[in-house]
Amino acid sequence: MWHAPQSGRRTWAWTSARLGGRGSGGTREGASGTLEPGSSDADGRVTSFGSSGPGRASRDGRSGASRSGMSGHPERAAMAIRASEDRAQRLRMVERKRLTDVPGQGARSTRPRRVQCRGLARTTEGAKLRAGGGQQESVEVRVSGEQGQWWKWVRCDGHALGLAVGLMLASAACGGTPVRSDVDVRTGSGAVMETRTGVGVTWDGSGVPPGAEWAEEVIEVTVAARLERMPSGVAVWEDRMFVAIPRWDGGDSTLHEWRDGGLVPWPSAAANDALAGSDRLHSVNGLRVDDRGRLWVLDNGRVNLGPPDEGVPKVVVYDVGSGEELFRHVFPPEVAPSTSFMNDLALDLDRGFVYFTETGMGGAAALVVLEIAADRSRRVLEGHGALSPEPGLEMVIDGQVATILRDGERHPWRVGANPVALAADGEFLLFGAMTHRQLFRVETRLLRDPSVPPEELEAAVEVAFDKPMSDGMDVLADGRPVLTDVEHASLVAMNADGQPHVLVRSPAWFVFPVAIHVVDERTLFFTSNQLQDMPLLHGGEDRTTPPYWVWQVRLHGNGP
């Protein structure tokens, strides 16, 4: 379900589930399975859970029997108190236990699983919870606090526990309409629905992914799309999301719109028919959308990662609303040779330019500068150290050095020019190699001027700041660059003092974060695709494990 914000430019957030309460009135799941009103005191603590059902525990573990109409039945009240205290003790034990089940391996314990959601929750009616292969035996719901704190514990039968996210919810935010979740993540602990601030989705018993770090400015992280093919670029315009699926393993299409829970070739199947000619889309890697709703599509032509045919590497611009092609530039062979891998792009439309990183596969990396009005592109800074892998540096993912199998031997996998973005003031272009610990910058006025001697341009390149090994980059609304960190499965924002600031991190789920698209001050999207396990690096053996993901991150919008 896509929800537009209340004001400002229309941007959208994929919401997997909405659970919880708002304000001083809470909700709970009563014996009948319906949600009933409760109450909380001035400090936000739960003082009752409604009147139906015997002996529901309050937040401090004491019975709600006297508030449940049992004051005239001492024996029943005493039994309810004991049952409630036993239940509260079990829940406290679960609260202290950090669940460490490995995602995908199924829950083996019959202990209650904790699912927690804190923050700006919404009152929900008719909530259902599914445990794939497991049976829901007991549920406790607690709601309290001005921010709508929501707690739920679920005990299952010990079989494989599937996604515990609410699959069918009727939310007040949606006018009572059931919300469909297309998410199908299997997690050992079965826990979902928590970020440190707000309503989110994470997947272990402690409420955040193993070893995860979450910035206070992050409200929630949700799944925007579950994919069976490896994604690269992502771009979102209003309520529409576009995903690039490079044809590294073939496939019928490479540019898609995410629609009705699946990928649809866009702008048409015919436009994606690589066999029909060089003018069609062959293998799209980079995507950007501008402020006028135009989608910029970078096609590097590397079908099955083979050399691109002449005339195929190109950038094509489409109107998002109509799908009409508005502009096309085909890179000449001297700009995009057979060793080229046109990777990503940065738009400088106020000045009429676009900048590209060319990673190089068997050749030197470079930047490519496109002057739109002249329909002319140039290759600059070829072989510059800022665009080349850092000598001796190895990429370590999940404790293993990323390698490539070549001539029967393993070699460290090192990648050149990759992340690129226009600085917030437009005066500098930020760029770097993936396998490099520094990000560089150069003045855009020098890039725009073809008369600048190569040696002057090379001398003008300077270090912007240290960075992680990064595949993708964009710039937040407050001007901070945000990069993927492929070694630590993170998104990292760079503060004004050059210090890294982790926004989100999850080695279990954000495996090899690739491309980032900042929609506005409150929303960004990124993809993760297990690139280190792709067949190219392992002698044709595909070590990836679908699905792959597009993630959506919602921010408070005011920075750290």
Taking only the tens place, the pLDDT of each residue in 154-185 is 322 222 222 223 322 222 222 222 222 222 22
- Closest C-alpha among 80, 75, 87 to residue 63: 80
Please, what sign has the CA dihedral across residues 72, 73, 75, 78? Answer: negative
Q: Which tens digit of pLDDT belongs to each residue from 237-292?
A: 999 999 999 999 889 999 999 999 899 999 999 999 999 999 999 999 999 999 99
Give the class (CATH, top level) of 221-555: mainly beta
Confidence of residue 79 (pLDDT cuts 50, 70, 90): low
- Closest C-alpha among 205, 85, 81, 101 to residue 153: 205
Confidence of residue 489 (pLDDT cuts 50, 70, 90): very high
pLDDT in the model for residue 499: 86
Q: How far apart are CA 429 and CA 421, in angstroms?
A: 6
Q: Which tens digit of pLDDT belongs to each residue from 361-415?
A: 989 999 999 999 999 999 999 999 999 999 999 999 988 999 999 989 999 999 9
Contact between 274 and 301 under an 8 Å Cβ cutoff? The reply is no
Number of H helices, E strands in the chain: 3, 40
Contact between 362 and 437 under an 8 Å Cβ cutoff? The reply is no
Mean pLDDT for 408-429 is 97
pLDDT mean across residues, the chain: 71
| Residue-wise burial string across 89-101, b where 16 or more C-beta atoms lie within 10 A, e elsewhere | ebbeebeeeebeb
Mean pLDDT for 478-492 is 95
Q: How far apart are CA 314 and CA 330, in angstroms?
A: 4
Starting at the edge strand found earlier in the chain, the sheet holding 218-227 runs 218-227, 548-555, 523-528, 513-520
Q: Tell me whether residue 346 is exposed, middle or buried, using C-beta atoms within 10 angstroms of its C-beta: 0 to 12, 13 to 18, 19 or more.
A: buried
Please give the model's pTM, rounded to 2 decimal places: 0.67
Domain limits of the chain?
Answer: 17-43+99-205, 221-555
Q: Which tens digit of pLDDT belongs to each residue from 518-552?
A: 999 999 999 999 999 999 899 999 999 999 999 99
| Contacts for 53 with CB less than 8 Å, ≥ 6 apart | 30, 31, 68
| Assigned token pair, 265 | 């070739």
Q: Which tens digit of pLDDT belongs to each residue from 290-319?
A: 999 999 999 999 999 999 999 999 999 999
pLDDT in the model for residue 82: 53
Query: Is the pLDDT at 6 greater than 50, yes or no?
Result: no
pLDDT in the model for residue 515: 98
pLDDT in the model for residue 470: 97
Helix residue ranges, H only, 429-528? 444-448, 454-460
Q: How far apart are CA 67 and CA 524, in angstroms?
A: 46
Contact between 101 and 188 under an 8 Å Cβ cutoff? The reply is yes
pLDDT above 90: percentage of residues in the chain? 54
pLDDT above 70: percentage of residues in the chain? 61
Give the residue with greater pLDDT, 48 vs 527.
527
